[in-house]
Amino acid sequence: MDTRAPARPARLTRRRLAVPAAAALLALVAGCTGSPVHGRPGAAGLRDPYFPKAGNGGYEVDHYALDLDYDPADGVLHGTAVITARAEQGLSSFNLDLAGLKVEGVSVQGEKARFNRTGNELTVRPAEDLTAGEVFRTEVDYSGRPRTLSDPDGSKEGWIPFEAGGAGGAVALGEPVGSMAWFPGNHHPSDKASYDITLTVPRGFEAVSNGELRSRTDAGGGRTEFVWHSPEPVASYLVTAAVGRFQVSDGRTPAGVPWHTAVAPGEAAEAGPALARLPEMVDWGSARFGPYPFSTAGAIVVPEGTLTYALETQSRPVFSGAPTEPGLLLHELAHQWFGDSVSPESWKDMWLNEGFATYAEWLWDEEHGGVSAQRRFEAFLAGDTSVDGAAGSDWAAFPPAEPPSARNISDEPVYYRGAMVLHRIRQEAGDERFFAMLRGWVADHRHGNASTKDFTAYAEQKTGLDLKKVWDVWLYGKDRPH
């Protein structure tokens, strides 16, 4: 894969793509003028440097309404996705990302639309062209057994069924490109949207998603319907749905943030004490990084062994087994500010998620009787075996802002060397300016997207320091810093 592609994909600068020759010719033949009223195909990808086909060009989604019916007994999903989007150009056709499943029908603005599928691209051709600036509704009806996909790094994403002593279920996870396995969409973090998700499951199962639980009703026929609402924008890789015989609880943090947790029964004994710290951690994050960004918090715990990682799904991170390690719980909660509210502009900017969530763990530790961030930083530098995680870590293998390939976006340098970048800024700026900068960063990009360049410019402006050496050595340098 070409890792030298521009760090800012074309759409992010809203550069218009040239009209392909064939389309121009067709437009001529059809008597069209190429004006925004007459459409051309939207791009099939956003040219992300690591996942070039992820997402689609020519429109931006405002809202997804997903209505999903799932039965863990046969693993079949019936879905309707209503996608409200705004055309950014005249569109004769546009793409959605969808992997597997059978598309039963598509309509645009209430009119039946033609569609076809190649690979993970669902191309929709509306009966009438869409005009630039038009807000339009697309409905996709689909069904089938959603797939479990494999990340470039080999871990599972997409739709992941689990068994738990006969009490089965499934969880949907999307980082980096797994969400296309369970709903059609513009699956790139740069296009965030709000969501309403309705999940209907057999009675006895709980169905959990992001945001607020609006209702839980008997849907008849031995089924229960759960309606979830995410008012704030969500990057599609952070959307989740989990179905299982979960034990649910809720409450409020001392500062008043409502939380909702769902725990697989086999994990409940361990998860209870582990999740007891969640309210305190959410409030700690608000004190350090600025107000908790969402209207609700929580966690989902699926049976241990379901996954090889935890994921910071928005407002409700998913853990595979109880998060008995406080650092892990804190990490996923810290992502709510770093990654979820402030989302990466491209998959190259992953250290803005992982380096920051890791540094949050270091900060939590130093304030809760653990080693200081300074001590940990020194231990990493020295390969000191006495500090947790530092020894044997391959933290220096590559510069965090330039992972060598899509396979490496969740490797150690992105986490640890990313955290060390933040510690270097703190060393230069001092605590007061450093924390003001962190809070300002979160406030400025709240519910948006940001790139590495945005961050380096912001950090310098906010601290008033020239940090070029830090960027050169720690963020972009090929050599092991010392």
Interacting residues toward Zn ion by CB under 5 A: 354, 357
Residue 457: is it exposed, middle or buried by C-beta count within 10 angstroms (0-12/13-18/19+)?
exposed
Q: Give the alpha-carbon dihedral of 184, 189, 195, 199, to 10 degrees.
A: 50
Q: How far is the CB of 281 from ligand TRP (least distance, A)?
A: 14
Do the Cβ atoms of 207 and 77 come closer than 8 Å?
no
Give first-to-last CA distance, the chain, whole Å.
30
Cβ neighbours for 39, distance < 8 A, ≥ 6 positions apart: 89, 90, 91, 92, 93, 129, 130, 131
Q: How far is the CB of 124 from Zn ion (least distance, A)?
A: 34
Q: How far is the CB of 307 from ligand TRP (least distance, A)?
A: 8
Q: Name the closest residue to ligand TRP (Cβ).
A: 410
175 binds, among Zn ion, ligand TRP, none (CB under 5 to 8 A by kind): ligand TRP
Which residue number, 38 or 156, has a Cβ lying nearer to ligand TRP? Answer: 156
Residues 176, 185, 400, 481: which binds ligand TRP (CB under 6 A)? 176
Measure Cα distances from 134 to 17, 90, 297, 308 in Å: 19, 9, 34, 43
Determine if 409 is a binding residue for ligand TRP (CB under 6 A). yes
For residues 218 to 237, the per-residue mask of contacts with ligand TRP, x marking binding by CB under 6 A and - elsewhere, is --------------------
SS3 132: coil
Q: How far is the CB of 328 from Zn ion (least distance, A)?
A: 9
213 binds, among Zn ion, ligand TRP, none (CB under 5 to 8 A by kind): none
Nearest to 398 by CA among 415, 383, 382, 381: 415
Residue 296 CA to residue 414 CA, distance in Å, equals 28
CA angle 193, 197, 199 (to 5 degrees): 160
Q: How far is the CB of 312 from ligand TRP (least distance, A)?
A: 5
Structure tokens at 183: 């709903």
Q: How far is the CB of 395 from ligand TRP (least distance, A)?
A: 15
Q: How far is the CB of 311 from Zn ion (least distance, A)?
A: 8
Residues 265, 270, 309, 443: which binds ligand TRP (CB under 6 A)? 309
Residues 48, 191, 206, 312: which binds ligand TRP (CB under 6 A)? 312
Q: How far is the CB of 154 from ligand TRP (least distance, A)?
A: 11
- By CB under 6 A, the residues from 140 to 169 that bind ligand TRP are 151, 155
Structure tokens at 397: 């293998």
Do the Cβ atoms of 349 and 338 come closer than 8 Å?
no
Determine if 306 is a binding residue for ligand TRP (CB under 6 A). no
Query: Which of these segments, 59-67, 294-302, 327-335, 473-481, binds ligand TRP (CB under 6 A)?
Result: 327-335
410 binds, among Zn ion, ligand TRP, none (CB under 5 to 8 A by kind): ligand TRP
Which residue number, 40 or 53, has a Cβ lying nearer to ligand TRP? Answer: 53
Which residue number, 123 or 452, has a Cβ lying nearer to ligand TRP? Answer: 452
373-382 vs 418-444: helix axis angle to the nearest 10? 140
Which residue number, 200 or 240, has a Cβ lying nearer to ligand TRP? Answer: 240
Instruction: Provide the 10 A C-beta neighbour count for residue 124.
Output: 22
Determine if 332 is a binding residue for ligand TRP (CB under 6 A). yes
Q: Which H or E run includes 233?
A: strand 223-234
Residues 32, 101, 282, 311: which binds ligand TRP (CB under 6 A)? 311
Q: How far is the CB of 177 from ligand TRP (least distance, A)?
A: 9
Strands 258-263 and 40-41: unpaired
Backbone angles phi, psi at 54, to 5 degrees: -70, 140
Query: Which of these segments, 76-84, 251-259, 306-314, 472-480, binds ligand TRP (CB under 6 A)?
Result: 306-314
What one-character DSSP code corresponds to residue 333? H
Which residue number, 143 or 393, has a Cβ lying nearer to ligand TRP? Answer: 393
Residues 97, 175, 349, 365: which binds ligand TRP (CB under 6 A)? 175
Measure Cα distances from 434 to 72, 378, 431, 443, 454 in Å: 48, 19, 5, 14, 16
- By CB under 6 A, the residues from 337 to 356 that bind ligand TRP are 350, 354
Q: How far is the CB of 311 from ligand TRP (least distance, A)?
A: 5
Q: How far is the CB of 354 from ligand TRP (least distance, A)?
A: 6
Give the residue carrying structure tokens 């809202």: 63
Residue 74 CA to residue 472 CA, distance in Å, equals 53
Determine if 411 is a binding residue for ligand TRP (CB under 6 A). no
Which residue number, 197 or 350, has a Cβ lying nearer to ligand TRP? Answer: 350
3-state secondary structure 254-290: CCCCEEEEEECHHHHHHHHHHHCCHHHHHHHHHHHHC
What is the binding site for ligand TRP (CB under 6 A)?
151, 155, 175-176, 309-312, 331-332, 335, 350, 354, 409-410
